[in-house]
Structures are given as C-alpha cells and as structure tokens.
Structure 1
Amino acid sequence: MRKKNTLLAMVFLSLFAMVSFTISEYSTHPPKKNVPIFTKVIYEGNDQVYNDYPLEEGEFYNPILQGCYPDPAITRKGDDYYMVCSSFAMFPGVPIFHSKDLVNWTDLGGVLDDITEFNPHDTGISQGVYAPGITYNPNNDTFYMIVTAFSGGLGNIIVKTKDPMKGWGSPKKLDFGGIDPSIFFDDDGKAYVVHNDAPDKGKELYNGHRVIKIWEYDIENDQVIAGTDEIIVDGGVDITEKPIWIEAPHIYKKDGSYYLMCAEGGTGDWHSEVIFKSDSPKGPYIPAPSNPILTQRYFPKDRENMVDWAGHADLVKGPDDQYYGVFLAIRPNEENRVNTGRETFILPVDWSGEYPVFKNGLVPMEPKLKMPQGVTNKTGQDGFIPNGNFTFEENFSSDNLDYRWIGLRGTREAFIKQTKKGLEITPFSTNIKERKPTSTLFHRQQHRTFSFTTTLEYEPKSEKDMAGVTAYQNENSNYVFGITKKGKENYLVLQKNSKPNWRGETVSEIIATEPIDLNGPIDLKISAEGDEYQFSYAVDGSDFKTVGGTVSGDILSTDVAGGFTGALLGLYATSGNDIILED
C-alpha cells in the first residue's frame, strides 16, 4: 500500500548513513566461506500443565498466544477478528493476527514492517513500540492501528487500512504525549482518542499517579483536535487510595451508555482491569462499584499452575454473540520468574448486568476454556498458530519464512538468505551486547520446559568470527553458545552476559570452553526445565554433550533483567566477536 519512489530511497540511504552500522552490513552480502549455514531448527515445548490437562471435546488452551505477546488489543468486522500486540524493538513492529472464531488464529506478520518508517535501530529491546490499539470504523469501512513509538522521534502514531490482509498505510504522527492510546468511533461518526498521561504540571500527588485523557479526533485530517483534551480519570478508581498506573484505556458503547475500561495497578503482581460508565464519551466517568473486573492479585503465590499479572484488556463480541476479553498475564516458573514474558489470554465476559465482568477472572485461572458454540479447535493445523505443547520444525525450504521468526532492531531480511543448503546468516560486525541491529534470527521462548535445536555448518576464520545460538532477554542479559577461533583451533564457547556494573559495562563471564573439530555439521541445543537451562552439542546428531553444566535462567526473566519482554532464542552470527579466550 505504500508508494515507493526515488526520493524515499534517498531518505532510506541517508537514514542509515547516520546510524552506527554501515549500509553494506544492512544488505544481503554475497556468500563467504565463513558464512554460517543453519540447515534445521526444532523447537519442542513440553510443559507439565498440558500433560496434566489434556483437551476434551469443545475445549481450547489459555493463553492463546504463548510467549512474549503482551498488551493485546482486538477488533471485529463481520466474521473477521484482528488482534495486535506489543513488539518493543522486535521487528516487524506490532504483530497482527486474524481469526474467524477467537480460537484459531493465523499470524499476519507485523503492521509496522517498513524499516524506513519505523526504525528502532538504536533502542533498548523494551523500547520501540508498545501498547497498540486496533479499531474498525464502520462509518468509513477503515481499520485504525494507534500506538506509541519510542524510536526515531515518532511518539504516538496512527496507521490505516481498508484490509489488514493487504498491509497498512504510512504512520501519521499525532500531536499529543503520553502512552497507550486507543481510538473510539461513535455512532454519529465522531471519533475520540484516549490515552494515559502524566497529571497536569505541579499536580502529581504520588509516584505512579497518572491520568486518562480524551481528545476529539479529526477523521478527515487524521489528527487530534487542538484544545479538546480533557482529563476523564484522575489517578484511578479511587484517588484517595493512591492507585498507580491507570493506563491502556478503551471506550465501548452499549445500550446508549459509554464505558471506559482501563488497566490499573501497574503491569506486575498488582495488575487489574477496572471499568467506568458515562452518558457522554467525554465523561464524567463514574467507576463501577464492583471494581476490579479482572485480577489475579489476591491469591496465594504457591498456587498450582499459577497465572498472574492479569490486566491490560480489550473487549469484543464473539461469534456466539457473547462478549470476550483479551488481556495479558504471566505463567511464572517454580522460582516465580517470568521467562516466557507476558502472554495473550482470553476469557468470556458476562455483560448481562450493568457492567462487564470477566468470567472466572476473579478466581485462580484455569489452563482450559470451553470454545464458543459451533467452533472447532484447529490450533496447530492448516496454518493456525499452535498452543499447548507442540513441536515446530523448520528446514528453511519454504519460499516464505514463518512469521514467528523475527529480527531485532531491524529486518531479518537484512542478514538472512535462504539457499538450497539452508539458511545463510551474513554476520554483522555488531555483537549481541550492543544496542544495534544484530544478525540474529529470533524465536520466542513459549514454554517453561522446552528444547531449541539447530544444525550448523560453519568454519570461523578468525577470533572475531562467531556463530551459534543465544538465549536472550536483553542486550545486557543473555547467554551465547557458539563456535569461534583461538589461533588455529576452533572452540565451542558458553558465555553469560548479565546486568551492567557500576561503570555501566555489561558483566561478561565465560562459563565454559571446549575445543571442537569441525569436520561436518554440528548440532547445538538450548534446553530448559523451569529455571534450569542447559547448552549442549552433538557431532553425530544424537549423543548430546552438555557444556558448562546447568545454569540459572534468572537473567532471562523480566523480574531479574528488567524490562517488558520475554526470553528469545536466536540463531546468531557476528564478525565482531569480543569473547577473549585465554591461552
């Protein structure tokens, strides 16, 4: 849908000339002898909860999107449902999914897929874009995606399309601050944008004090109307209780009344969803007496199959004419660490009374749900996204690489090439610890118990060359397991990179090294059982040997590493290796 022309190409070249990696690195190179070739990947998830709770007729698993897919928003046109999530510095930005029934979903890639228009090249992984909203406007038969972008000076932006299957238009910068915007279209054709913001200057009462603002929106010019902004929620449900982080607002209209639903309590263990009501889209909004309408914060931390941090929700009417809500939540491991990140869940919503309430959203959540009437569970089949326990095999022979493979701070196409032998990764000179695009093809960790295995053909030519795999939470918290060189000898190395020291330098530790003969392909494996991770290899395709023993997954969790993302598993190559092997 975007128009490409010579001027745009010049802008593209100028843009990349300014960043700290070269244009020649950010393109597909001719093959070199030391370019690694990955011929196969097998990701296998085997969480005990799915073994303990097999699906019966008419059931499906919650979460519907496993791994780092937080901040879901959803909309409907006819029988088509579209859902978007946060992506931060992952690329493409704002993953989008399609369903006919809220159970079976297909991956459509990313809304922000043009690097000349959204370029998170130098941001931390938890920046980029987050908390999108998606809304269909029946008045002009157009879909709108609105989001906050922390890169390139974009701020809050909006993009449009008539058909999400065919791509989106160019981003339009909006003239307001704050975060977490969403857009609402009223029956009379008028439009409004709501978002989280700071209180007026000098009126902040406590740490975490935020407000919800509303603007009238000019549909013809795609811009908020100056001077129309008003604060419609100050602090939260009850400001005398000092509620924190009122955010992620959405407006709905039902039976002539307007409902404002927001997250409250911060995206942690006090997270919740609350609801307000008004006779006008601009308020005043009165909180429901029964708030919160969704939370998991009141229950014991040692409960079985714990789901926690539930909130940041959006509502839609389902195929059975009943309401449903999508929201984020976590499934921590036995150490109460969050390695799979914030995932997308769904629950039916009871709106038979004055206010909506998430069914079973105020009791400990279960791993299974009953499907909407008339729906067949096809997850993992016919191109639908799998959930529960599953195995994903990739030999890189398809013309279209699966959308689950993502880049970081840049396009995956900048460094990959699919060949008859497998996937070539042309190494960038950046390494995994830098806030720059790295030549790493990533897959989300989607289970607490998993294995991620790849077959690699590679011959490093110098100590600056390395290729292998990485378990990655952010630029300062990751493991690297790969092949490099010391003198004339090849070595397999396991390195741990953790939080910066007092000088701001990433603390790096070589956990183990092992000399390796590269007479043919080598299999590299990352595996985990909860918090315990292992890195192993095989030269005969079957007898895996662990390098470095069992290591902790603490640095791969958000509660230790910080930020908002889950762990990623990557196929990694660099010509800027800085791991120094001792003699």
Structure 2
Amino acid sequence: MKTGGRIEGGEQGVSGLGHLLLTAALFMLMTLSPLVAQKHLPLFKQFVYEGNDRVYNDFPLESDEFYNPILQGVYPDAAITRKGNDYFLVSSSFAFFPGIPIFHSNDLVNWKQIGHVLDRKSQLKVFDTGISAGIYAPAIKYNEHNDTFYLITTQFAGGIGNMVVKTKDPFQGWSDPKSLDFEGIDPSLFFDEDGKAYVVHNDAPNPGEELYEGHRVIKIWDYDLEKDQVVAGSDKIIVNGGVDLSQKPIWIEMPHIYKRYGRYYLMCAEGGTGGWHSEVIFVSDNPRGPYVPAPNNPILTQRYLHPDRPNKVDWAGHADLVEGPDGRFWGVFLAVRPNDKDRVNTGRETFILPVDWSGEWPVFENGLVPFSPKLKMPEGVENKAGKDGFFPNGNFSFVEDFKADTLDYRWIGMRGPREDFIKRTKQGMQIQPFEVNLKAVAPTSTLFHRQQHQTFTATSLLEYQPKTEKDLAGMVCYQSEHFHYIFGVTKVGKENFLVLERTEGGESSTLAAVKVDVKKPLHLQIDADGDDYRFNYSYDGETFENLGGTVSGDILSTNVAGGFIGNFIGLYATRGSDVKVTE
C-alpha cells in the first residue's frame, strides 16, 4: 500500500534508490511469472482432419454436379432466406458458443460461413445448460417492407425462451435478443405483402385437451413490428395434431408460411425428428386459417424405404423453402447418414433438394425415394466447394496451424467464448485450462470441430508438461457431458502418462494408459471407420502406436447418448481431471 510517498514494507519503509530497485524487481516478477507458467500450458501446434467416406469415392462428381449434404456434420434444423441475389442459411447450435452458424451464397451450391448470429455473452446465456438445450431451430426471414433481417428462435437457457434478433446487414452482426411473450418452440415469422407480420410456432394443446403423447398444435399470433412482440390475445390454433388427428400424428413442429398463387401455404415437420420424420403442407385463403392439408402428404420423408438400402440417408424433415436463382424452388432440410451399425455419429446435417411448385402443391423432387449423394447444379453455376473460402463437402482435408490472425469459424467452444481460454502464439495455440472437466455443465476449456465423415482421421501435435495429477490435455470425442472419450496426457506421481478414458452415462472407466516422454512433442490421432474408433500416438508423426485397441463409437451416437447432436472432436485441457491411472 502506498502511503505518503513511501511503500510500506513490514516494519520499515523503503525509499529513494531502494524504492526504485524494489519497483523494478516487482515489475520484472510480474512480467516474467506468466512466462514461467506458460511452459506448463498445453500448446497445440497443428490439427489435421481428413475425411475418406467410401460414398464419395464411389460417386465422383461430374462438372455439373454437387454433393448432398451441403453442410456435413452437426448443422441441423436448417432455415434459409433471400434478399435479391443473396441467400443466408442458419442452423441450430444448442449449447455451443458462439451460436447459430450463418452461411451466405449467391447460387445455393457454394456457401461461405460469414460468422455466427449469437456471438456475444449478452445474446447467448448457455453457460449452465446441458449440451442438447440452448438454441433450438432458428428461423431467418427477410422483411422487404423495412429492409430488415429477423432471426427468431428458442433459447432454453438464461430464462430467455422464445426470442428475436435482427439486423440490416447479416455481415455486420445482430442485435441483442428480445424475449417474446409466448410458450412453445420452433417459432417462425411471416411477412405478408400488405406489411402485416405473424408468428407461427409449435405448442402444447389447450389444457385438458391433450389426446396422446406427442400431441402438439401449431399456433399463430399477430406480430407488432414496432414493439417486436406478439399481440396479446391474438393467438389461435391453426393445426391440431397434424395432417390427420385420427391417426395420432406426433410432433407437428417447425412451421413456415409462404404465399403463392394468392394463397397461404403452411409447411411443417411431422413425426418427430427420428425415423418417422417427414414434411407436410397445408393451404388457406387467410394467414390465420383455416388450413387444409394436401392430399399427397407427406411431401418429404425417407420413412417408408428399405432399412438396408445402400448409402442410407434417413430422418429427413424440418425443411424450409426458397426460390432459387434459376427461378425454381429449393428446400433445405435436416437428415442423417447412419454408419455401418446404423448409428448417428455425424449428427443431423443440412441437405438440399429442388422443389417442383409448378402445380398447386410444392413437391420435393425425389424426396420420397432414396436420396442420391449428388445433385445437378442450377444452370450456369460452377462448383467451388472447398475453394476461395467456400465450405468444402465430399471428402476433404482441413489443416489448421493456429497462426492466422482469426480463428476459423468451424472451431467452437462449449457454453462460453473460445477467447476465454485460447491464446494464439507464434508456435501455435495455447489453452488456459479451466478447473472443470468435460463432465461439468459449465464452460469447458475445449476447442471443438465437428465430425463430418464416417471414415476420418483427426491428428493434433501437442507440447505439454502437466504439473499435477489434476492436469490433463489432449483430444476428445464428445457427444455430451455424459458420453465421451478422453485421450490425453496427465501426471501420476513423477511419471507422465497418455491415457484413454471412456465415459458412458456419466460413469468413467480407464481403457488403457502408457508412459510417455513429455519432453518430446506428441502426435495424437483419432482414426475412425464407421463405428470403429482407434486412438493412436506418435513422436515422429509417421509411425503411430495404438492405445486401447479398437473401441466402439456407440456412445458418440444419438442412438445411445440421446439428444440432438453428433460427435465433436475436441482439443481439450483441464486442471480438474478425474481420470484414474494405475501404474
């Protein structure tokens, strides 16, 4: 404490030259101490992801074709809008941070990620929520009457609920959220030609009117554009149960309204987001109904097909429509590509199909037959996937040395910003470990990349010297806080070990451990082929040794772990490790 020009130092003060020397010493201590500590921070010098799915080798592209899905890995619940020649596409992000990845295209084939809609703590409050909570089913709409983009979604966190954000320019960021005064999920806005606005969403039936488990309704509200709020008392049920209530349809949800031929078309998902998923359509002469279902529903599904079909795609639904640059309509939607054990490790992905709307009803072209892995491009479009910043698809490699000024948008954190725990250096990326581990329902010091193929390798180069048995750093395969693999370096006594741990239903078991020389950089590798995962290590990056044999990817699948995501590959560090190693 400074007092009267002197620094109090015990019983006797220090002044003059002593004061200067002490100040210099304190400055040097404060300056040097972080450098001493930093050698114990894990340094990731490189990450290489390589996909090698057989389907892409068996179906090479012709010059006028592109691959479907357009976004591989966990990009579920796609929604799309258009302003002029600009298309913007978004997907759900649950508890990941930043939230709601947003992509831009001029042709519906080539997509660039331009950021995330929710990239600030003031917008996204998922710090204490489970992995499959947080942000559900965003819907993006452009309102030409006020030249504004709106994104409406449900945030199961922070007491927010249904919310809306908006912007004049999606390239420049979005507003803080405004909570909306209604219950339910999956809201979507509709802007009519007369300037009026409406919200439609999924909700429970009126109290006492629920007929069976999964019975839901679609509601509509008038929306006040000046107040950005639904009009109190304007809510009305416009669909009860689904297409045919007598058949007990489940989970009518994610409604969108479109106006065509002077009429109002209401498109919804029906059947739940698993094997009975589908897309159905209704029509009305008034946005507030009554709505009549199409005679040919569903207009999109894979539920009637043979379960053992080759190159299987399943669970199709949750769609949104847009008019393409070629004048015809296209629909984006979610679907899954199960692995050899029919497990969903790549999660719900974003697919696209042309839509024939030359007649009264829109019809997804080939939407009721087994999907092809590739499509014909709109006339005049060149496939630029993986070039000039456009998102890759098919088989591709992703190489990261962490030396760029900005971090690639594909890297995301869990429940909190990446910037809270990472630091890019000239040598690579350092992670400042948090005290919590992967089991915590809290922000973790983990940088995640989606699994985008059934057959892949992911390799990282790690320099790390743990100080205590609570310290651990390495790679993870993460489906949730309750289901994951940890493959990392930790300390036991005076020795250092590389350990493989499996966590299923929150219960952990150590599968294997081996002593390692932490004075040497260590190459860590995850090698997956369908449901078979192998965790390998190397000192030279060429000759790899396996640890723990071949293990099952079952706990990384939606089928076993539940929830709404797939596997994420993480670069992980913690000061709160509970991994058990026996010498």
**TM-score with structure 1 length normalisation?**
0.94
Superposition map of 1:252-291 within 5 A:
252-291=258-297
| Inter-partner Cα distance in structure 2 for 1:316 and 1:544 | 48
Partner letter of residue 275 of structure 1? I
Name 1:339's counterpart in structure 2: 345
Partner letter of residue 475 of structure 1? E
Q: CA RMSD in A?
A: 1.0
How far residue 517 of structure 1 moved from its aligned partner, in angstroms, is 1.1
| Inter-partner Cα distance in structure 2 for 1:353 and 1:491 | 66
Partner letter of residue 480 of structure 1? I
Name 2:478's counterpart in structure 1: 472
Name 1:437's counterpart in structure 2: 443
Superposition map of 1:331-410 within 5 A:
331-410=337-416
Partner letter of residue 172 of structure 2? K
Name 1:314's counterpart in structure 2: 320
How far residue 30 of structure 1 moved from its aligned partner, in angstroms, is 9.3
Name 1:221's counterpart in structure 2: 227
Name 1:19's counterpart in structure 2: none
Name 2:31's counterpart in structure 1: none
Q: Is 1:564 matched up with 2:564?
A: yes
Name 1:577's counterpart in structure 2: 577
Name 1:422's counterpart in structure 2: 428
Equivalent of 1:161 in 167, 174, 178: 167
Task: Judge which range, 514-523 or 335-344, deviates more.
Answer: 514-523
User: Is the Cα contact below 8 Å between 1:72 and 1:328 reproduced in 2?
Assistant: yes
Partner letter of residue 547 of structure 1? L
Equivalent of 2:491 in 485, 491, 498: 485
Equivalent of 2:128 in 122, 127, 144: 122
SS in 1 for 2:458: strand
Name 2:514's counterpart in structure 1: 514
- Kindly provide the CA deviation profile for residues 539-578 of structure 1, in whole angstroms up to 9, marking residues without a partner as x: 1121000000000000000010000001000000000011
Report the number of matched residues: 550
User: Is the Cα contact below 8 Å between 1:96 and 1:108 reproduced in 2?
Assistant: yes
How far residue 148 of structure 1 moved from its aligned partner, in angstroms, is 0.2
SS in 1 for 2:479: strand
How far residue 527 of structure 1 moved from its aligned partner, in angstroms, is 1.1
| Inter-partner Cα distance in structure 2 for 1:550 and 1:161 | 49
How far residue 581 of structure 1 moved from its aligned partner, in angstroms, is 1.8
Q: Is 1:203 matched up with 2:214?
A: no
Partner letter of residue 511 of structure 2? I
| Inter-partner Cα distance in structure 2 for 1:29 and 1:348 | 57
Superposition map of 1:224-263 within 5 A:
224-263=230-269
Q: Is 1:451 matched up with 2:444?
A: no
Which blocks of at least 5 consecutive residues in structure 2 are unaligned? 1-33
Change (3 A) 1:369 1:31: farther
| Inter-partner Cα distance in structure 1 for 2:503 and 2:122 | 31
User: Is the Cα contact below 8 Å between 2:65 and 2:377 reproduced in 1?
Assistant: yes
How far residue 424 of structure 1 moved from its aligned partner, in angstroms, is 0.4
Superposition map of 1:61-140 within 5 A:
61-140=67-146
Name 1:39's counterpart in structure 2: 45
Percent identity over the alignment is 66
SS in 2 for 1:165: helix
| Inter-partner Cα distance in structure 2 for 1:53 and 1:229 | 49
User: Is the Cα contact below 8 Å between 2:465 and 2:519 reproduced in 1?
Assistant: no
How far residue 31 of structure 1 moved from its aligned partner, in angstroms, is 5.5
User: Is the Cα contact below 8 Å between 2:88 and 2:102 reproduced in 1?
Assistant: yes
| Inter-partner Cα distance in structure 1 for 2:300 and 2:283 | 16
User: Is the Cα contact below 8 Å between 1:524 and 1:537 reproduced in 2?
Assistant: yes
SS in 2 for 1:281: coil
- Kindly provide the CA deviation profile for residues 15-43 of structure 1, in whole angstroms up to 9, marking residues without a partner as x: xxxxxxxxxxxxx9995221000000000
Change (3 A) 1:29 1:415: farther
How far residue 479 of structure 1 moved from its aligned partner, in angstroms, is 0.1
Change (3 A) 1:30 1:210: farther
| Inter-partner Cα distance in structure 2 for 1:160 and 1:135 | 10
SS in 1 for 2:165: strand
| Inter-partner Cα distance in structure 1 for 2:332 and 2:432 | 39
Partner letter of residue 476 of structure 1? H
- Kindly provide the CA deviation profile for residues 39-92 of structure 1, in whole angstroms up to 9, marking residues without a partner as x: 000000000000000000110000000000000000000000001100000111
Q: Is 1:547 matched up with 2:547?
A: yes
Partner letter of residue 313 of structure 2? V
User: Is the Cα contact below 8 Å between 2:122 and 2:176 reproduced in 1?
Assistant: no
Name 1:21's counterpart in structure 2: none
Superposition map of 1:179-194 within 5 A:
179-194=185-200
Partner letter of residue 528 of structure 1? A
How far residue 110 of structure 1 moved from its aligned partner, in angstroms, is 1.1
- Kindly provide the CA deviation profile for residues 299-333 of structure 1, in whole angstroms up to 9, marking residues without a partner as x: 11110000000000000000101000000000000
How far residue 116 of structure 1 moved from its aligned partner, in angstroms, is 2.7
Higher CA-based Rg: 2
